[in-house]
Amino acid sequence: MSRLYEVMFILRPDMAEEDADKLIAGFSSTVTHGGGVVKSVEKMGRRKLAYLVRKFADGNYVLLTLEATGPVVLELERRLRVTEPVIKFITVRMDEEEKRLAKLKALRGTRRKVSAEPAPPEAAGADVAERAQASA
Range of the domain at 86: 1-136
Give the whole-angstrom CA distance, residue 115 versus residue 36.
Answer: 45
Please report, for the domain that includes residue 20, its CATH number: 3.30.70.60
Residue 136 makes CB contacts below 8 A (sequence gap 6+) with: none
CA angle 102, 66, 2 (to 5 degrees): 75
What are the residue ranges of helices labelled H in 83-121?
Answer: 94-116
pTM summary value: 0.72
Query: Does 123 have pLDDT greater than 60?
Result: no
What confidence tens digit (pLDDT) does each residue in 55-104 have? 999 999 999 999 999 999 999 999 999 999 999 999 999 887 788 888 88
Give the whole-angstrom CA distance, residue 4 versus residue 24.
Answer: 18
Hey, what's the torsion of the CAs at 55, 59, 65, 66, to 10 degrees? -50
Share of the chain above pLDDT 70, in %: 82
Q: Count structural domains, the chain.
A: 1
